[in-house]
Amino acid sequence: SGRCARAAALLKELEERCATPLGKLRQVADAMMVEMHAGLASEGGSKLKMLISYVDKLPNGDETGLFYALDLGGTNFRVLRVQLGGKEQHVVKKEPKEVSIPPHLMVGGSDELFDFIASALAEFVASEGEDFHIPVGRQRELGFTFSFPVRQTSIASGTLIKWTKGFNIESTVNDTIGTLAGARYYDNDVIVGVILGTGTNAAYVERANAIPKWHGLLPKSGEMVINMEWGNFRSSHLPMTDYDQALDTESLNPGEQIFEKLISGMYLGEILRKVLLRLANEAALFGDSVPPKLETPFILRTPVMSAMHHDNSPDLKVVGTKLKELLGIPNTSLKTRKVVVQACDIIAKRGARLAAAGIVGILKKIGRDSAAKDGGDTPRTVVAIDGGLYEHYNIFSECLRSTVKEMLGEEASASVVIKLANDGSSIGAALLAASHSQYL
Ligand code: ADP
Ligand code: MG
Active site residue 248: no
pLDDT < 50: residue spans in the chain = 161-173
Name every residue whose Cβ is closer than 8 Å to that of residue 147 and which is 6 or more positions away in sequence. 71, 72, 73, 74, 171, 172, 173, 174, 175
Rounded Cα gap, residues 72 and 357, in angstroms: 31
Q: What are phi and psi of 137, to 5 degrees?
A: 85, -5
388 lines ligand 1 (CB under 6 A): yes
- Cα angle at 208 between 260 and 179, to 5 degrees? 40
Given the residues 26, 78, 140, 380, select the one marked as catalytic: 78
How far is the centre of ligand 2, averaged over its atoms, from the C-alpha of 6 (Å)? 40
Which numbered ligand comes closest to the C-alpha of 178?
Answer: 2
pLDDT value for 6: 95
Atom of ligand 1 nearest to the CA of 396: 25
Q: Cβ–Cβ contacts within 10 Å for residue 374, how many?
A: 4
pLDDT value for 161: 47
Local structure of 165: helix, strand or coil: coil
Active site residue 244: no
pLDDT value for 174: 81
How far is the centre of ligand 1, averaged over its atoms, from the C-alpha of 179 (Å)? 15
How far is the centre of ligand 2, averaged over its atoms, from the C-alpha of 228 (Å)? 16
Local structure of 366: helix, strand or coil: coil
- By the 8 A CB rule, do 64 and 185 touch? no
Atom of ligand 1 nearest to the CA of 269: 16
197 lines ligand 1 (CB under 6 A): yes
- Cα 43 to chain centroid distance, Å, stands at 23
pTM (2 d.p.): 0.91
306 lines ligand 1 (CB under 6 A): yes
How far is the centre of ligand 2, averaged over its atoms, from the C-alpha of 137 (Å)? 35
Q: Which residue's alpha carbon is at the smallest distance from atom 6 of ligand 1? A: 387
Which numbered ligand comes closest to the C-alpha of 306?
Answer: 1
302 lines ligand 1 (CB under 6 A): yes
269 lines ligand 1 (CB under 6 A): no
- Cα 231 to chain centroid distance, Å, stands at 8
Active site residue 175: yes
- Cα angle at 100 between 177 and 68, to 5 degrees? 45
Local structure of 90: helix, strand or coil: coil
Given the residues 147, 171, 235, 435, select the one marked as catalytic: 147
Domains in the chain, please, with CATH? Answer: 1-61+185-434 (3.40.367.20)
Which numbered ligand comes closest to the C-alpha of 310?
Answer: 1
404 lines ligand 1 (CB under 6 A): no
- Cα 303 to chain centroid distance, Å, stands at 16
pLDDT value for 156: 58
Q: DSSP state, 131?
A: T
